[in-house]
């Protein structure tokens, strides 16, 4: 892991000559090849999963770029439901199938934090802030996330979130065409900043755009080298380091500004300050959860809005939200759409929207390209007759169940009316076993508010880059492990503002 104190090295690299950058890149390549070739361990333990053929570093680089394809090819090449490969000197085991899924999610020694730390690498890393955290500090962050989702706090977020929707959607104009995987994601990033940080940041569109740009730099800078050799100051790592330092500075300045002002505001930062949390906990909470929330919820919102473009469920959602308005908003008031929706209480959003619930569930099934990552911190364990040694990393791709035609017939078809799967852990959209998405209550609310504003505020349909209507929505790209975006330019939303005032 790297520290913020290396920013000078990052700045120096970014200003260095092309020759210097190429030389450093070649050095990194040499190190990777030195560690990578011959990394497959000789003399596999009896009962161990079969090794993926060609399991050297160059053969497994698609794990970072085309993970869905890489894992599927692994099952195909080995002909097994479990296989293993080496990530430098670390053992990585991929499991699939019903019994393996049950064992994976039920094992109390399979640790999420250790698994994600080694195999992901796409979050801001600051020692003691977002990495190398003590168990007590991790528990404290989880506790604060639960506090953010208490009734009173969530209820207070409804109006500000809807106001963010109104302001951002107004910038789209009365009609036009846009890429939903850009514009909807940008909107969700704004909402995530609103929900999980502070008014000082959320009320400043320039600062929000800057934060998004910096987090995008972190995403684009995640390479095999930055994950496997995080201590090596290569080009991508230095760019990530620079972006992390800039994000850190923005968040710290906002905290300092709040403390200097002495003004209490109804936001998440104030809650953290009122709890007298350590500065590192506050900064880590905001740095880590901003990107985690924006990626996951932004991906889901982009696909949910896209799937509803020309789907029969669109009218059902509109009718459901209009019924909410009829039940909870006086017909005699002339509020804007965002004001009307903000009058609907939290309990109604959570308990009176079965159509929206089914849509969110189906979107998570078909368009969240997750691979669950764990590390076995306990003793050796057996799964489907194969030994998972202590210290090994264990992966379970969600596609194994969510795109399984035996569990979900015609799995690539968007069908919110599907019956729930009856097999164990047949749906893991919000996690499974002892590990669930701790922010799902907030995420559900955000998705419902954004979808309601979009469907009642605009008429829209799916078109291609020439403006011609699409016969069907694009297929999610599970190789894009962060955003699941389809092929660039394959889908746009052609929109026209409704008669309602946003």
Mean pLDDT of 285-312: 94
- The verdict on residue 313 lying in a domain is yes
Residue 12: predicted pLDDT: 47
Give the count of domains, the chain.
1
Percent of the chain surpassing pLDDT 90: 68
Residue 196 lies in a domain: yes
pLDDT tens profile 450-465: 999 999 999 999 999 9
Name the band, by pLDDT with cuts 50, 70 and 90, for residue 222.
Answer: confident
Answer yes or no: is 10 within a domain.
no
Q: Which residue shows structure tokens 């000197």?
A: 89
Place of tokens 């450093």: 24
Tokens read off for 263? 């003004």
pLDDT digits (tens, 9 = 90+) for 136-158: 777 888 888 899 999 999 999 99
Q: What is the largest CA-CA distance in the chain?
A: 78
Instruction: Assess if residue 92 is contained within a domain.
Output: no
| Alpha carbons 114 and 279: distance in angstroms, whole number | 24
Quickly count helices (H) and strands (E) in the chain.
Answer: 22, 13
Question: Would residue 287 count as lying in a domain?
Answer: yes
Question: What is the number of residues in the chain?
Answer: 502
Q: Give the count of beta carbons closer than 10 Å to the beta carbon of residue 113.
A: 15
Residue-level pLDDT at 65: 86
> Are the CB atoms for 112 and 374 separated by under 8 Å?
yes
SS (H, E, C) 227-285: HHCCCCCCHHHHHHHHHHHHHHHHHHHHHHHHHHHCCCCCCHHHHHHHCCCCHHHHHHH
Helix/strand/coil percent split, the chain, to 5: 55, 10, 35
Per-residue pLDDT band for 49 (boundaries 50, 70, 90) equals very high
Say which CATH number the domain at 193 has.
Answer: 1.10.630.10
Structural domain includes residue 41:
no
In the prediction, which pLDDT does 2 show?
38
Q: Whole-prediction pTM value?
A: 0.89
Least confident stretch, 129-133, 339-343, 432-436: 129-133
Query: What pLDDT, on the 0 to 100 scale, is given for residue 435?
Result: 85
Which domain covers residue 128, as residue numbers? 123-377+402-497
Closest to 454 (Cα-Cα) out of 353, 343, 314: 314
Burial 481-501 (b: 16+ CB within 10 A, else e): bbbbbbeeebbbbbbebeeee
Binding-site annotation: residue ranges for heme: 437
Given this model, what pLDDT does residue 304 score? 98
The 3-state DSSP class for residue 85 equals strand
For residues 175 and 495, the answer to whether their CB atoms sit within 8 Å is yes
Determine the average pLDDT of the residues in 399-409. Answer: 97
> Is residue 117 included in any domain, yes or no?
no
Cα end-to-end distance, the chain, whole Å: 46
* Position 72 in a domain: no
Task: Note the pLDDT of residue 44.
Answer: 55
Residue set of the binding site: 437
> Cα(303)–Cα(300) distance, rounded to whole angstroms?
5
* Mean pLDDT taken over the chain: 88
- Cβ-contact 211, 247 below 8 angstroms: yes
Mean pLDDT of 406-415: 97
């Amino acid at each position: 892991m790297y520290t913020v104190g290396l920013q000078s090295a990052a700045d120096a690299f970014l200003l260095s000559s092309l020759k210097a950058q190429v030389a450093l890149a070649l050095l990194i390549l040499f190190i990777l090849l030195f560690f990578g070739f011959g990394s497959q361990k000789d003399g596999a333990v009896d009962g161990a999963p079969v090794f993926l053929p060609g399991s050297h570093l160059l053969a497994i680089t698609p794990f970072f770029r085309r993970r869905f394809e890489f894992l599927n090819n692994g099952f195909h090449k080995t002909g097994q439901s479990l296989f293993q490969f080496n990530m430098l000197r670390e053992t990585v085991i991929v499991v699939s199938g019903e019994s393996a899924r049950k064992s994976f999610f039920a094992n109390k020694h399979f640790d999420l934090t250790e698994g994600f730390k080694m195999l992901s690498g796409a979050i801001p890393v600051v020692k003691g802030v977002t990495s190398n955290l003590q168990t007590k500090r991790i528990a404290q962050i989880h506790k604060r996330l639960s506090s953010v989702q208490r009734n009173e706090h969530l209820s207070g977020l409804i109006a500000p979130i809807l106001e963010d929707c109104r302001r951002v959607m107004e910038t789209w104009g009365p009609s036009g065409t846009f890429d939903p995987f850009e514009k909807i994601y940008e909107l969700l990033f704004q909402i995530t900043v609103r929900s999980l940080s502070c008014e000082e940041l959320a009320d400043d569109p320039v600062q929000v755009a800057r934060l998004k740009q910096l987090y995008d730099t972190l995403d684009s800078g995640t390479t095999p080298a930055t994950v496997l050799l995080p201590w090596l100051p290569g080009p991508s790592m230095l760019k990530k380091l620079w972006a992390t330092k800039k994000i850190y500075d923005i968040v710290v300045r906002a905290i300092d500004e709040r403390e200097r002002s002495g003004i209490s505001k109804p936001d998440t930062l104030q809650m953290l300050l009122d709890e007298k949390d350590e500065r590192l906990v506050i900064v880590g909470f905001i740095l880590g959860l901003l990107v985690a929330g924006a990626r996951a919820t932004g991906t889901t919102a982009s696909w949910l809005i896209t799937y509803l473009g020309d789907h029969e469920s669109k009218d059902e959602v509109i009718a459901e939200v209009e019924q909410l308005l009829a039940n909870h908003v006086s017909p005699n008031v002339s509020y804007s759409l965002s004001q009307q929706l903000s009058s609907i209480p939290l309990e109604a959003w959570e308990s009176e929207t079965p159509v929206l619930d089914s849509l969110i569930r189906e979107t998570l099934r078909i368009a969240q390209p997750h691979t669950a990552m764990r590390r076995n911190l306990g003793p050796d364990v057996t799964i489907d007759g194969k030994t998972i040694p202590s210290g090994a990393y264990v992966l379970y791709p969600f596609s194994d169940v969510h795109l399984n035609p035996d569990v979900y017939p015609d799995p690539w078809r968007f069908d919110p009316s599907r019956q729930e799967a009856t097999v164990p852990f047949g749906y893991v959209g919000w996690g499974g076993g002892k590990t669930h998405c701790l922010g799902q209550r907030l995420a559900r609310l955000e998705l419902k508010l954004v979808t309601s504003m979009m469907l009642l505020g605009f008429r829209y349909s799916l078109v291609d880059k020439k403006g011609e209507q699409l016969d069907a929505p694009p297929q999610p790209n599970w190789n894009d492990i962060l955003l699941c975006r389809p092929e660039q330019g394959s889908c746009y939303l052609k929109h026209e503002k409704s008669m309602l005032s946003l």
